[in-house]
Amino acid sequence: MAPSDDDDDLKRAIAMSLAEASSPIANVAKLASDDEDEEMRHAIALSLQDSNADPGTLEATVSHPPEYAFAEASQQNKRTQCRTENASSTSASSKPSGLFGLDRKAMEEERLARLGKRKRSASPERPSKLITKTPGVSNADEKSRTSCNGPNLKYPKGTVKRTWAFKHPRTDDIKIEEVLQASTVNIAVLSAFQWEDNWLFDKMTPEITKQIWIMSAKGEDVQSKMRREAVACGIPNFKQHFPPMNGQIMNMHSKLMLLFHKDYLRIVIPTANMIAVDWGETNKDPRTGESWQPAVMENTVFLIDLPRRPDGKPAEEAETAFGKELVYFLTSQELGRNVLEGLLKHNFSETKHLRFVHSIGGNHSGKDPNRHRTGLPGLALGIHELGLDQVKTLEIDYAASSLGALKEPFLKQIYLAACGISPLSEDKAPADFLDRFRIYFPTKETVVNSTGGARCGGIITLARAHYDSPGFPKQCMRDYVSTRKGVLSHNKLLLARGRKNDGKPFAWAYIGSANISESAWGAPKILKNGKESLNIRNWECGVIVPVPDEALEKVKLADDEVPPMSVFEGTVEVPFQYPGEKYEGREPWFSKG
């Protein structure tokens, strides 16, 4: 977005908000984590204690839960600062604060007045009647989005893209603007763990697009406060939704976009949150309005465009397992009927080669007839239904940005699920399965020497106590080094390659929000009474994308060989160097200890 004179006003409003807010360090204990609660709280606290930034130089400080910021363009002091704020912080000021603590209403009115835009009082139930042109989008671009003969579906069978990274050469990547297609999207249902509202509203203004944000907030008090703040902002066409967070459910961590256009639906499953840094952007120099620092973080995105059903009426159910599991997941999140009906007005037939997988927060006991549809059992079911089971040999390369208290039994359950076998099955994983399981996680050296430096490692979490505990599978660890120099990763990618019992090679990728932890996937157990139990602490979602047979047929393999990592070319751009260096005396990046 081109720099404008509203940047200074925005910075002043932010600086005032920061000055008036209560200490974020005092509130940090209230925050939920990106995956492991205690670890993340500690990382946030360290980041806050280490930061001495002048609030007046920071760009957007809007978050719930924690986020990053990057500032100080001085060539003599090129250090990146990562900081966080608590959405439930209270202001000492008597004037109303807007969404996440900012006086959003006043700021937005001033911005719209400067841009010559006219606010409307149109009903939020009829977003298609709003303006369908976004400032900064040319007529040629507008025409390229649609066709008089029907929807112009750019990704009718689905694709996987790497997120764009500022000041790095473009590959098969994608920008947030190219994902959102803001010029023609009428309704956007967005799910994420972290948010920057001003950044997102600049990309897709609520005056034009009705937005429903699926957010993480545990406790009715926190949810009520966030709702009040949103109402105080007076944002048109905007609604928050909080999935059930009762009991041991700690985080709504899933990343998902449902982008409703006139003639088609775009489904997006990213590993990224709704914050600028996750999409390859960096802060602007407050003096020049220009970015100076290359991107510091990267992610991966799955997209598919589905045409509207000819009769325009919702089907009784989706045609494919992908669609059925998506509807089941959103129903479990208690999303409104209108969104679900909107989904079913689209044709899911081109998703038959894919599988939507999820983790539904809560306890799934033996009495739950759907307990096999979610978490690790759901992953196993998806692999089985795609015909990727009956495995003789399997190699797993899993890149994650957060690791829990890993133990061999849990990795064995992931391995079995990736073979299409129930994690509680009596089938045994091969004795050397840990040698076939590589976990890509950065070393301390890699984080410190990255473009953003150690201050940008706060979201990459592993506790020293976990790593040093007996049984942690250190032999599986590999250094995550991006193929883009200096970029850190927020990816959650499971890449599987193998041979079936009949000798046929196969490969598939999981792209989603689930890190390697029991919180994300659940750890199925057999209770003393003989019943199954599956407890999941996070809401997560992702997609299984098989490598096409034609790509596998091009690979020449010996009898006992599995396809090489290069087999993913054309399906997933592998963003890290492989097979990855073993730690060999080095230690991982620790968020605690």
For position 94, what pLDDT does the model report?
32
Query: Could you tell me the two tokens for 236?
Result: 């048109």
For position 25, what pLDDT does the model report?
24
Which of these is catalytic: 253, 364, 372, 466?
A: 253
For position 177, what pLDDT does the model report?
98
Q: Can you say whether the dihedral through the CA atoms of 400, 403, 409, 410 is positive or negative?
A: negative
For position 151, what pLDDT does the model report?
64
Is 490 annotated as catalytic?
A: yes
Give the side-chain half-sphere CA count within 13 A for 12.
8
Ordered by where they begin, the domains of the chain are 354-568 (3.30.870.10)
Query: Could you tell me the two tokens for 297?
Result: 């973080």
Task: Tell which residue, 111, 95, 76, 344, has the closest CA to residue 207.
Answer: 111
Question: pTM for the complete prediction?
Answer: 0.80
Give the total residue count for the chain.
Answer: 593
Give the pairing type, strands 437-440 and 477-478: parallel
pLDDT per residue rounded down to tens, the chain (593 residues): 444 433 443 343 333 333 333 322 223 223 334 444 444 444 334 333 333 333 222 222 223 333 333 222 222 222 223 333 223 222 233 333 345 544 444 545 554 554 444 333 333 333 333 333 333 333 344 343 433 345 689 999 999 999 999 999 999 999 999 999 999 999 999 999 999 999 999 999 999 999 999 999 999 999 999 999 999 989 999 999 999 999 999 999 999 999 999 999 999 999 999 999 999 998 777 788 788 899 999 999 999 999 999 999 999 999 999 999 999 999 999 999 999 999 999 999 999 999 999 999 999 987 788 889 999 999 999 999 999 999 999 999 999 999 999 999 999 999 999 999 998 887 788 999 999 999 999 999 999 999 999 988 988 999 999 999 999 999 999 999 999 999 999 999 999 999 999 999 999 999 999 999 999 999 899 888 888 899 999 999 999 999 999 999 999 999 889 999 999 999 999 999 999 999 999 999 998 75
Give the side-chain half-sphere CA count within 13 A for 424.
17
Residue 239 annotated as part of some ligand binding site = no
Which of these is catalytic: 168, 346, 358, 490?
A: 490
Residue 167 annotated as part of some ligand binding site = no
For position 576, what pLDDT does the model report?
98
Whole-angstrom CA distances from 385 to 147, 211, 322 are: 36, 34, 11
Dist. CA 311–CA 284, nearest whole Å: 48
**Could you write out the three-class secondary structure of 301-363?**
EEEEEEEECCCCCCCCCCCCHHHHHHHHHHHHCCCCHHHHHHHCCECCHHHCCCEEEEECCEE
Phi, psi at residue 356, to the nearest 5°? Answer: -85, 125
Dist. CA 6–CA 117, nearest whole Å: 14
Dist. CA 591–CA 464, nearest whole Å: 8
